[in-house]
Structures are given as C-alpha cells and as structure tokens.
C-alpha cells in the first residue's frame, strides 16, 4: 500500500461533512470564529436534501399571531414528540429559532411578507399558531441558497463531490477522516481534530421514500464504527402525503403546506375521514365539524384547527387505515384536495406543487384532486449528542440536523426541521470552538487505520466476481418496506433482522465494475454498508420498544404505555454487532416540565 505521504492530504481545524442547512450553518459559525473550515459534500454545492424542504421553518416570531412565544413552541414540540424529546434541546430550539431566522434576512433571504412588511408565517400540523416562515413552497431552496451565497464569502473551503469513508482517531479522539473524490475515485485524507456530521438520514433503505441516493445513513454508519451512540432510531417519520401515482414518482413529497392552506383529505366514499381520527390528547384543540374547520381557515381566531393539521404520525396512520379498509383512492392512497380555493391563490402559495403534479402526474391541482399516501421522510433518531454543544460521546465528533437526535422525540412537527438545522448547526460550530480551545496537542493520523479503510473499499473493485450492488439495495428496500414499515410487529421485526444479517453478508461481497472514476456502482457498494447498519439499528430499536408512540406503531402493542415514557433506545456497535439498550430518561428540569404541562391560556398570558 502507498505511504501516507503519497496520499493527498488536506488540513483543517474543522471538517464539516454535509452541505445542507446544518452543515453550511455550522461552517459559517466556525469560519467566523476564525477556524480553518472544510466542507465536504456528496453532491454539488446547493443540491443537498434541504432544497426539498417545502413548507417552512418554525420560529415563534409572533408576526401573524402575537399570542405566540417560545414556550408555546416548546410545548407544541414536546407534545408532538410524545414527550420523548430531550427537554433541553426542545427548549434551546424554541428559544433560539427566531434569532436564527431573522439572521437569514441579513444574509439575503427573502421570505414572504405580512401586510405590514414583516416575515409572514403559515399554519402547519401540530403548531398552535401560524409559525412557519416560508417562501411559497420552496423554503428549503431559499435556506440553502442563502447559506451558500453567504457562506462562500466567510472563508470556508467547499470540497464538492467528496464522500467520507470513515473517521480517523487517535486514542479515541478524532484526528480526521478518509474520503474519496467522486470525480477521480482518488483518496484524500483530511487531518482535522474536529469533525461535524451534518449527513442527514437513511431513508433510502426504504422503497417508498422522499429521500434521494445521498440518504444512505453515512453519518450513522461512520459514527457507530467510531464508537458513537445512536438514539431513538425506531422513530422514522412517514410523511402522510407522498405522491402515489405514477409508480415512478411514488414517495415524492407533497408539502404539508397544502393542508396548511386549507387542503382536505377524503376517502373513496368522499368522507373527510380525519374527523374520525382525532386523538384524545388533541381533542380540545381540534375542530370537530366542517363548519368550524372552515371558520378557522377564514381566520376566526376562536375556531379550532381542522383535523387535517394533526401531527404527521396521526394523519399517516389514518390514511393507511382507510386504504386497508378498502376506502383508498384509485392507486392506493387518499385524496387531497385544494381545488376549492381560488386558482391564483393555489398557484401563488403552492407553485412547485402545482408544477410537480402538472409535469409528473398530469394533474391540475387547481381543478383536480391529488392522490397521496405515506412516504418515509425523516429520521427523528440519530447520533446521540449533548444538548448544548452537539458533541457526541466521541471526543471531537459533533452532529447537527437530521443526523443528530433529541429535538423531535417520537415524532417531528413539520417546520421544526429547517429551524433545527440553523439552531443546532450554529450550536455545533460553537461547540467545536470550545472543544478546540481546551484540546492540547493535535491528535495524529495513523497510517494503519488509513490503509485498513482504503482496503475495505478497494476490495469492491478488485475482486474477481460479486453481486450487483443495485440488486442488494433493491432487496434491502423490499425488506424494510415489509418488516419495518409504518405498522410493525414483533415477529415481522425479528424476521426482518434475520434477513438483514443475510443482506449484510451479501453487501460485503458486492462487486463494482470498471474503474473508480465517477462510478455510481462503486459509490453504491460503499454506501450500502451504512444503509444496512442504519436499517438494522432501526429494526432493533423498534423491536425493543413494545408500545405504539408517535411515528412508531406496533400492532402487537397498541397505544402508549407508561414504561415507554421512561426510556430512550440507545444503540452501540459492540465487537461489530449492533446492540440496543434502554437508557433511562432523567427527571425533566422543573421549569420546563411546568411549561410543557401548562394550559394554553397560562402560556399566552405568560403566567407560566
């Protein structure tokens, strides 16, 4: 093998992995703190998953309804997360989101405006008040472009189409990362005492998903192999409204903004079935007649919100139930209709939805119903981090955004993802600086580690024969769809875990043809092991949680159980095997528990 000196080496104080909202926000922070910052991204700059976010970013600015404040946002987040969130993270997020959103305006973001010229805010599922700062239905694009155009002038180095293989460590501490360039297939060693992961989720392990090829759980795989803990991995969010027809776009996201702007869900009998699916916990805040729902839409502040805007887990399960009962839409979903609103209004508020359905499904949403169904959208779980600093249990390794965990608990509210990125991206940057200030000496890169990691990926090219990686991915997706889907049960999960063991063996023996230069086949071989590790972590946590809570539904354990509230699932790699355990939840800070359980009247009047 070649000597370390002959491999391209790049040095940074901080290496950020991923250039979506969290990665770019973290890199802006560390650059501004005077740290040499490198960002690597699997795709080109500006193409990360963040661009697909549509509805908006949640922040209690109070521009549209002045009764809103951070405490109510915090309470909504905890209730949406079924009280499995990390208390401090949910509080930090609600407190800091408004400043992070306003700061984007200073960097050039142009949000939709209220009549008085302030940032406009829209309604979304689970949020008590209009809270989502937005730009039509392309808020994610606005976020990423703003961070990109601002970030490139802050001194960061962006290394595009560069993919991480594994972390490098010196006595447990981070010393860098081995990566490769997609364009040439050549290796590159990053020497950096801090690595911030902003690698997103692992939704690509499912067939029906809104996620792209990038979402292969790279961060989960690399972090776990470096000794980091993963948490809450059973909580995978199925967004209730993905496209269902035509087959090639099954899973593509239909923004919750459609329901936020008044879209209604019906079954094949024309029944607005969400009225029959209101959980006890939300009954006092949800309209129970069409008339009241309409009043709310017309702006009556006393009216309660329509049941279509219940949290995502509730809506997704309700659609599944209709389909299973034989009342689904033509292609196995539900009907979503916004055509009762003015056609110009729809085109202005939901331009990319209009475009998407027109071009991909030949449906005019200003006149026709959409067909929608659940699609794997988001990992609530992820790499376990400290709430304040975002550091993992591996010294020097940080995680922010979807790849981290703690904010969302058992279910994420729409709009809390984009604000998560900027709040905790910035926090990770600050955490990195604090870590570096205390770090004495520079952790070294070990030649043997680099060699071992290189060998593990070159093998895919060098071996004589092996399976096509795409076929293994296909089988993985079938397995996850069947065994770890939206509704789970113990026997199915156990069988799924068995199948994953076989898939792991197959994934270790896949073969990439041709050379390493821009070779998606080889890239898939490398991604596959992270995908399977993430999938197994999810299945094992799902088996361990014997209740139904938030996004995790067990047929054999219906309803929430008291025991379920006492722990978070934690996963660790022990001798190469994934082990799940229950980590007892600490007693919540008194102040926060009081806010979370307070009545709305008290919070609006700031009596709590």
Partner 1 sequence: MSERTFRIWRGNPQDGGDFVEYTIDVQTGMVVLDCIHEIQKQHAPDLACRWNCKAGKCGSCSMEINGKPALSCMTRMNTFEEGETITVQPLKTFPVIRDLTNDVSWNYQQNKRIRPFAPRPRDPDGEHRMMQEDVDRVQEFRKCIECFLCQDMCHILRDRETQQNFAGPRFMVRLASLDMHPLDTDDRIQEVRDESGSGLCNITRCCTEACPEHINITDNAIIPLKERVVDRFYDPLMWLMRKLKPGNSREKTTVE
Interaction of residue 245 with partner 1, rule CB under 8 A: yes
Which residues, other chains included, contact 326 with Cβ-Cβ below 8 Å and sequence gap of 6+?
none
Interaction of residue 364 with partner 1, rule CB under 8 A: no
Interaction of residue 153 with partner 1, rule CB under 8 A: yes
SS3 track for 476-495: HHHHHHHHCCCCECHHHHHH
Which of residues 518 and 567 has its CB atom nearest to partner 1 in the complex? 518
Question: Least separation, in Å, of the C-beta of 467 and partner 1?
Answer: 11
Interaction of residue 213 with partner 1, rule CB under 8 A: yes
Question: Least separation, in Å, of the C-beta of 525 and partner 1?
Answer: 9
> Which one of 295, 303, 360, 593 is in contact with partner 1 (CB under 8 A)?
360
163-183 burial, b at 16+ Cβ within 10 Å, e below that, comes to bbbbbbbbeebbbbbbbbbbe
> Which one of 1, 110, 325, 434 is in contact with partner 1 (CB under 8 A)?
110
User: If we measure between CA atoms, which residue out of 553, 253, 304, 248 comes closest to residue 417?
Assistant: 253
Which of residues 180 and 522 has its CB atom nearest to partner 1 in the complex? 522
Question: Least separation, in Å, of the C-beta of 379 and partner 1?
Answer: 18
Interaction of residue 145 with partner 1, rule CB under 8 A: yes
Instruction: Give one DSSP letter per residue of 177-231, joined into a string.
Output: EEEEETTT--EEEEE-SEEEE-----GGGSSSBS--TT-S-HHHHHHHHTT--EE
> Which one of 141, 156, 346, 571 is in contact with partner 1 (CB under 8 A)?
141
Interaction of residue 45 with partner 1, rule CB under 8 A: yes
Candidates 259, 304, 317, 384; catalytic one: 259
Reply yes or no on whether 348 is catalytic: no
- Tell me the residue length of the chain: 608
> Which one of 522, 545, 550, 553 is in contact with partner 1 (CB under 8 A)?
522
Reply yes or no on whether 239 is catalytic: yes
CA 437 to chain centre: 31
Using CB atoms within 10 Å of the CB of residue 417, give its burial: 0 to 12 exposed, 13 to 18 middle, 19+ buried: buried
Q: What distances in angstroms separate CA 306 from CA 127, 264, 301, 433, one per listed residue?
A: 12, 9, 13, 45
Candidates 122, 128, 134, 239; catalytic one: 239
Interaction of residue 354 with partner 1, rule CB under 8 A: no
Q: How far apart are CA 327 and CA 325, in angstroms?
A: 6
Question: Least separation, in Å, of the C-beta of 182 and partner 1?
Answer: 9
> Which one of 279, 332, 520, 605 is in contact with partner 1 (CB under 8 A)?
520
Interaction of residue 214 with partner 1, rule CB under 8 A: yes
Question: Least separation, in Å, of the C-beta of 106 and partner 1?
Answer: 5
Interaction of residue 159 with partner 1, rule CB under 8 A: no
User: If we measure between CA atoms, which residue out of 161, 164, 104 comes closest to residue 403?
Assistant: 164
Q: How many distinct helices (H) and strands (E) make up the chain?
A: 17, 20
H or E, element range at 504: helix 490-508
Q: Where does this chain bind partner 1 (CB under 8 A)?
A: 43-49, 51-52, 102, 105-108, 110, 112-113, 116-118, 135-136, 138, 141-142, 145, 149-150, 152-153, 160, 183, 212-214, 245-249, 252-253, 351-352, 355-356, 359-361, 468-471, 474, 512-514, 517-522, 524
Indicate which residues carry an active-site annotation: 239, 259
């Amino acid at each position: 093998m070649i000597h370390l000196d002959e491999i391209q080496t790049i040095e940074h104080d901080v290496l950020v992995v991923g250039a979506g909202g969290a990665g770019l926000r973290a890199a802006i922070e560390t650059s501004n703190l005077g740290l040499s910052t490198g960002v690597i991204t699997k795709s080109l700059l500006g193409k990360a998953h963040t661009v697909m976010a549509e509805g908006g970013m949640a922040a209690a600015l109070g521009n549209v309804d002045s009764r809103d404040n951070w405490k109510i946002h915090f309470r909504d987040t905890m209730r949406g997360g079924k009280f499995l969130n990390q208390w401090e993270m949910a509080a930090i997020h609600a407190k800091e989101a408004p400043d992070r959103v306003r700061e984007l305006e200073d960097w050039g973001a142009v949000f939709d405006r209220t009549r008085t010229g302030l940032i406009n805010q829209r309604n979304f599922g689970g949020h008590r008040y209009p809270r989502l700062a937005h730009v039509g239905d392309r808020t994610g694009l606005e976020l990423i472009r703003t961070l990109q155009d601002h970030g490139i002038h802050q001194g960061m180095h962006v290394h595009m189409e560069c993919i991480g293989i594994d972390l490098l460590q010196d006595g447990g501490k981070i010393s860098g990362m081995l990566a490769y360039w997609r364009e040439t297939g050549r290796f590159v060693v990053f020497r950096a005492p801090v690595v911030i992961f902003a690698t997103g989720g692992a939704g690509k392990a499912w067939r029906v998903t809104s996620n792209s090829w990038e979402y292969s759980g790279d961060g989960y795989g690399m972090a776990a192999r470096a000794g980091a803990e993963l948490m809450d991995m059973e909580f995978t969010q199925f967004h209730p409204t993905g496209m269902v027809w035509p087959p090639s776009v099954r899973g593509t996201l239909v923004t919750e903004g459609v329901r936020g702007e008044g879209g209604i869900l019906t079954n094949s009998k024309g029944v607005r079935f969400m009225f029959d699916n209101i959980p006890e916990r939300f009954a006092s805040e949800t309209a129970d007649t069409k008339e009241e729902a309409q009043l709310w839409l017309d702006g009556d502040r006393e009216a309660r919100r329509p049941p279509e805007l219940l949290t995502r887990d509730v809506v997704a399960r309700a659609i599944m139930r209709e389909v299973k009962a034989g009342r689904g839409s033509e292609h196995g979903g539900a009907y979503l209709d916004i055509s009762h609103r003015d056609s110009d209004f729809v085109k202005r508020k939901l331009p990319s939805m209009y475009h998407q359905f027109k071009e991909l499904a030949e449906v005019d949403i200003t006149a026709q119903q959409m067909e929608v169904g659940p699609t794997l959208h988001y990992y609530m779980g992820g790499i376990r981090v400290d709430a304040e600093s975002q550091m993992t249990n591996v010294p020097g390794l940080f995680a922010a955004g979807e790849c981290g965990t703690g904010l969302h608990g058992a279910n994420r509210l729409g709009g809390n993802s984009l604000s998560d990125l900027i709040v905790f991206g910035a926090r990770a940057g600050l955490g990195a600086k604090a870590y570096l200030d205390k770090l004495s000496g520079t952790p070294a890169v070990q030649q043997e580690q680099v060699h071992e990691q290189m060998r593990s990926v070159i093998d895919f090219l060098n071996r004589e024969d092996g399976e096509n990686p795409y076929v293994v991915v296909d089988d993985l997706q079938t397995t996850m769809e069947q065994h770890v889907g939206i509704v789970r049960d113990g026997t199915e999960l156990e069988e799924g875990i068995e199948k994953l063991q076989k898939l792991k063996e197959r994934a270790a023996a896949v073969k990439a043809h041709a050379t390493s230069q821009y070779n998606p086949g080889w890239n898939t071989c490398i991604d596959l092991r992270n995908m399977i590790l993430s999938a197994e972590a999810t299945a094992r946590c799902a088996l361990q949680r014997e209740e139904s809570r938030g996004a995790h539904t067990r047929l054999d354990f219906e309803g929430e159980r008291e025991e379920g509230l006492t722990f978070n699932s934690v996963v660790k790699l022990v001798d190469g095997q994934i082990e799940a355990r229950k980590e007892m939840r600490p007693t919540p800070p008194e102040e926060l528990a009081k806010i979370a359980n307070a009545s709305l009247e008290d919070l609006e009047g700031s009596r709590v």
